[in-house]
């Protein structure tokens, strides 16, 4: 038995290090993924979102109501973006996802408050994501005793006592119990499909090259677009099977409601799957082997998971992170699937989230077709 040789070990080390340097993609991933995680977790992730868009319906424009509105804004959680005339308009904004809250002040609020009748202000919250609205709702508990402290003086001094001169009634829309599974389970449809479909398609072309069957494929009269469609559609079938499994578990195990149309959801998910499959096909044309294709898949999946609003509130992220998130198909699909399942949105309510996915599909498809080569290197 030969003794241990430091020289031979060093030679193997140098050989392996040189080989690693030649694989530039793997070397870049080794440094790129930690940097990406540091940036996303350090700067983009925020579990306590502030400045949440709020629609106000105020039928009593008095000094007291203005003080309450200012106090809400001073909490940092509420940002008045819409001043509408009716609760119906505000409800429509919540359904579209344009606002997180609706504040409704009745017409006789000030008169009843002065009389000591403890009038109520209605605050309706979009509770499809409980983590996005939970802290803001908790901040409302202090407003009833502090918002009018400087206004209730002189003859009104007696109203600064217990109980508070008014109350705030919070209605959690679409998820009144604040159950996290109502938010997570529909989101899992998008995240599972993103991970599996991009990965499976990503290794499709690289597998052909590694097995040596690419020559046979290139010898046929099949056009690049036909190859792309033929490679993608089997995975669409797999995607719909996954959808049925997740929806069955959502209904039977987690009791997640389905308020909207199954057919509409099936149509929207078809576009979403095509967008992800086009990304996977693009990766397969860029990667030299299946390992590189899987590495690219992870590099795409990580930002999709963290910046789409699945794990962390989307509105809690800085503006630059929201711009990146808006470019990802998972962000728009999560809004669509939660809107259909929890809010009962129809086609007109989700179409504004469809065109970004179609644009992404077109861009990814064009890149994939241009990268596809009909001759081997």
Q: Are residues 199 and 286 in the same domain?
A: yes
Q: Are residues 202 and 349 in the same domain?
A: yes
Domain that holds residue 158: 52-173
Report the run of H or E that residue 359 belongs to, with start and end: helix 347-371
Which of 139, 173, 207 lies at the terminal end of a domain, its last residue? 173
Spatial strand order in the sheet of 167-173: 78-83, 52-58, 101-105, 120-126, 167-173
Residue 310 lies in a domain: yes
C-alpha distances in Å from residue 283, one per residue of 77, 113, 202, 204: 41, 64, 5, 10
Residue 28 lies in a domain: no
Per-residue pLDDT, 267: 92
Per-residue pLDDT, 234: 86
Residue 13 lies in a domain: no
Per-residue pLDDT, 28: 67
Residue 141 lies in a domain: yes
Q: Are residues 148 and 206 in the same domain?
A: no
Angle between helices 262-286 and 329-338 (to 10 degrees): 170
Q: Are residues 219 and 130 in the same domain?
A: no
Which of 148, 173, 198 lies at the terminal end of a domain, its last residue? 173
- Single pTM value for the model: 0.84
Which of 111, 146, 173 lies at the terminal end of a domain, its last residue? 173
Rounded Cα distance between 191 and 28, Å, is 25
The C-alpha torsion from 93 through 99 and 100 to 101, rounded to 10°, is -70
Per-residue pLDDT, 218: 67
Q: Are residues 199 and 341 in the same domain?
A: yes
Q: Are residues 191 and 269 in the same domain?
A: yes
Q: Are residues 204 and 168 in the same domain?
A: no
Residue 14 lies in a domain: no
Per-residue pLDDT, 375: 46
Which CATH number goes with the domain that contains 102? 3.40.1710.10
Q: Are residues 195 and 65 in the same domain?
A: no
Q: Are residues 139 and 193 in the same domain?
A: no
Q: Are residues 221 and 349 in the same domain?
A: yes
Residue 376 lies in a domain: no
Q: Are residues 357 and 232 in the same domain?
A: yes
Q: Are residues 335 and 215 in the same domain?
A: yes
DSSP labels for 101-152? EEEEE-TTHHHHHHTT---EEEEEEETTSHHHHHHHHHHGGGHHHHTTTTTS
Predicted confidence pLDDT, tens digits, the chain (377 residues): 567 777 777 887 777 777 767 766 666 666 776 777 777 777 777 888 999 999 999 888 888 889 899 999 999 999 999 999 888 999 999 998 999 999 999 998 988 888 888 899 999 999 998 888 888 998 888 888 787 878 777 777 767 777 788 889 999 999 888 888 898 999 999 999 998 888 888 887 777 777 777 667 667 777 767 777 777 788 888 889 989 999 999 889 888 989 989 999 999 999 999 999 889 888 888 877 787 788 888 889 988 998 998 988 898 888 899 999 999 999 999 999 999 999 999 998 899 999 999 999 999 888 887 877 554 45
Number of domains in the chain: 2
């Amino acid at each position: 038995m030969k003794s241990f040789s430091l020289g031979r070990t060093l030679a193997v080390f140098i050989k392996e290090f040189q080989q690693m340097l030649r694989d530039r993609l793997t070397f870049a991933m080794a440094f790129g993924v930690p940097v990406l995680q540091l940036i996303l977790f350090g700067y983009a992730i925020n579990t306590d979102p502030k400045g949440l868009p709020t629609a106000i319906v105020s039928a009593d424009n008095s000094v007291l109501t203005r003080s309450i509105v200012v106090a809400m804004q001073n909490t940092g959680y509420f940002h008045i973006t819409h001043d509408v005339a009716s609760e119906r308009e505000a409800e429509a904004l919540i359904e579209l996802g344009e606002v997180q809250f609706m504040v409704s002040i009745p017409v006789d609020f000030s008169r009843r408050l002065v009389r000591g009748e403890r009038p109520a202000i209605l605050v309706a919250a979009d509770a499809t994501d409980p983590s996005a609205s939970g802290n803001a709702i908790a901040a409302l508990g202090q407003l009833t005793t502090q918002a009018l402290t400087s206004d209730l003086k002189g003859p009104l001094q007696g109203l600064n006592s217990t109980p508070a001169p008014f109350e705030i009634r919070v209605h959690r829309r679409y998820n009144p119990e604040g159950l996290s599974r109502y938010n997570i389970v529909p989101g899992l449809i998008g995240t599972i499909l993103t991970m599996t479909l991009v990965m499976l398609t990503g290794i499709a072309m690289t597998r052909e090259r590694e097995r040596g069957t690419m020559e046979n494929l290139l010898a046929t009269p099949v056009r690049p677009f036909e190859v792309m469609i033929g490679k993608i559609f089997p995975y669409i079938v797999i995607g719909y099977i996954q959808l049925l499994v997740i929806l069955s578990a959502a209904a039977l195990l987690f009791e997640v409601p389905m308020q909207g149309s199954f057919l509409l959801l099936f149509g929207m998910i078809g576009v979403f799957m095509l967008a992800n499959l086009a990304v996977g096909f693009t990766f397969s044309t860029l990667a030299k082997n299946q390992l590189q294709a899987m590495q690219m898949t992870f590099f795409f999946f990580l930002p999709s998971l963290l910046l789409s609003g699945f794990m962390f509130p989307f509105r809690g992220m800085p503006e630059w992170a929201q711009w990146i998130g808006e470019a990802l198909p998972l962000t728009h699909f999560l809004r669509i699937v939660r809107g259909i399942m929890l809010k009962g949105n129809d086609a007109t309510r989700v179409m504004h989230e469809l065109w970004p996915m179609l644009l992404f599909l077109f861009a990814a498809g064009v890149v994939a077709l241009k990268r596809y080569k009909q001759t081997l290197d």
